[in-house]
Every structure is written in C-alpha cells, then in structure tokens.
Amino acid sequence: MLIRERLVEGVNKGITSQHGLIAHGRGEAFDYLIGERTRDFAEITIRAAVAMMFRADRPVISVNGNAAALVPGDLVRLSEVTGAPLEINLFHHSRERIAAIAAHLREFGAVDVLEPTADAVIVSLSSDRRYVNPDGIARADVVFVPLEDGDRCGALRAAGKSVITVDLNPMSRTSRDASITIVDNVVRAVPRMIARVAELGGALDEATLRRDIDSYAHDSILVKAEHAIRSGAS
C-alpha cells in the first residue's frame, strides 16, 4: 500500500506517467505470485548484477518515472557506491517530466543527473525515445535499467550494450532480452544491490566478480522464476 502511494504521489508531482500506474499494477500481481520477497533466484542475480557493474568500464543507471518515484534515494546511493552516473530516460518523454525527475533525484542527494539530448541517439528506436546522453548511455558498456520496456531493452542490446534489468515478470521481452534479469520488486532489489556492495567491501578482485557473474545462468534463472510463479512454490 505504501509503495502504491509513492507512485500516486509520483503522478501528482509530474514524475510518473499514468501508463506507469498500469505497469505497476502488472508488477504487483507478479509480486503477489512470487511471495513478495526476494527469492533465491533473485539473490544470485543481484550478486551477478553488482559484479557486472563493477567490471564495466562505463556503467550507467537509467532512471524512468516509476523507478524515480519508487526508489529515488536507493538509486542515488547505488550510483554513489558503484560510480555509475544516473541518466533519465523516459518511455513517455516530456521536458517537464525530465525536469521534475531531476529535481526529485536532487532532493534525494543526487549531484549530477544526466538527461537525454538530441546529440546522441539509439539508432533502432523511433521518436523521442531514441535520445540519450552522449556522456551516459550513448557511451555506456553496461546499462542498469530497472523497469524497462521490451523495445528499448532490445535496442540497447542491439547497440552492443549489456543490460541489467529488474522485472517481476520473467516472461516479458525485457526479461528475456536483457543480459541479467533480477526477478524481484525494484523496492527490494535496489537496496539489496547496495547491501551487496557493502558485503563485498573493498574485495572487488577479478576472481570474486568473475565468480559472481559466472554463477548466473540467464535462461535457467528465468525458468526457475517462472516455475515459482506457476507452481506457487514459496
């Protein structure tokens, strides 16, 4: 209920689109089915996701209206502990909403927030959705993009980037097309990623990061998540 309130507040503040409410409703249904907790298959994935962000040369955290409403402080903190800049990227693009999200993230401590510009585009996307920041997603090798849609996830992959997503539906196109898919609620997954960074401490050696990435098998994680949903096993 509190989570839902954050989104309604997000709509009232011009951060979240009305379409975002519908997407959230879909997420709530899946969350109910996975037992509203971080499952083993998500735990393994969170480790791999953090390792991939640390091994990246130019990781970026892509923020949309739902993520900004639900976990603004956690995204700012994740950016601080991983060194990955925050970049606003919207499905339903508007200058007003970008400004509102940037202001919201700054309220939660963000110093620099990258915004889409007309100077760089993801070529396989049409209209306003194609614009990205030349110093952010345009040059990124790894993009952490919680709550992405299938078209853009596919386009980022086609542009040669690794994509880490958070999606409660393991059957969505985003879940399937991403490099790493955390099947969990973003309100649990992002804090857990920050906790994982703390657990690693300074031990960011190549062997540990490699092991965490190698422990993640994309297809079998999605099968496990789907099985958990269909069987009701908790």
Q: Does 16 bind ligand ATP (CB under 6 A)?
A: no
Cα separation, 20 vs 49, in Å, equals: 24
Counting contacts by CB under 6 A, is residue 26 touching ligand ATP?
yes
77 vs 188, which CB is nearer to ligand ATP? 188
Q: Residue from 6, 16, 17, 30 that binds ligand ATP (CB under 6 A)?
A: 30
- Measured between alpha carbons, how far is residue 148 from residues 59, 111, 129 in Å? 16, 24, 12
Decide: is 181 part of the binding site for ligand ATP (CB under 6 A).
no
Q: How far is CA 50 from the centre of its chain?
A: 12
- Which is nearer to ligand ATP, 99 or 171 (by Cβ)? 171
Nearer to ligand ATP, 40 or 205 (CB): 40
Q: Point out which span in 79-87, 121-129, 131-139, 142-150 binds ligand ATP (CB under 6 A).
A: 142-150
Should residue 166 be labelled a site residue for ligand ATP when binding is judged by CB under 6 A? Answer: yes
Cβ distance 145 to 156 under 8 Å? yes
Residue with tokens 């062997």: 207
Smallest distance, ligand ATP to C-beta of residue 172, A: 4
CA distance 52 to 77: 17
By DSSP bridging, strand 59-63 and strand 86-88 are: parallel
Q: Are 172 and 194 in contact (CB under 8 A)?
A: no
Under the binding rule (CB under 6 A), the answer on residue 38 touching ligand ATP is no
Distance CA 143, CA 164 (A): 6
With contacts defined by CB under 6 A, name the span among 116-124, 135-143, 162-170, 225-233 that binds ligand ATP. 162-170
Which residues of the shown chain bind ligand ATP in the complex (CB under 6 A)? 23-24, 26-27, 30, 70, 147, 149-150, 166-169, 172-174, 185-186
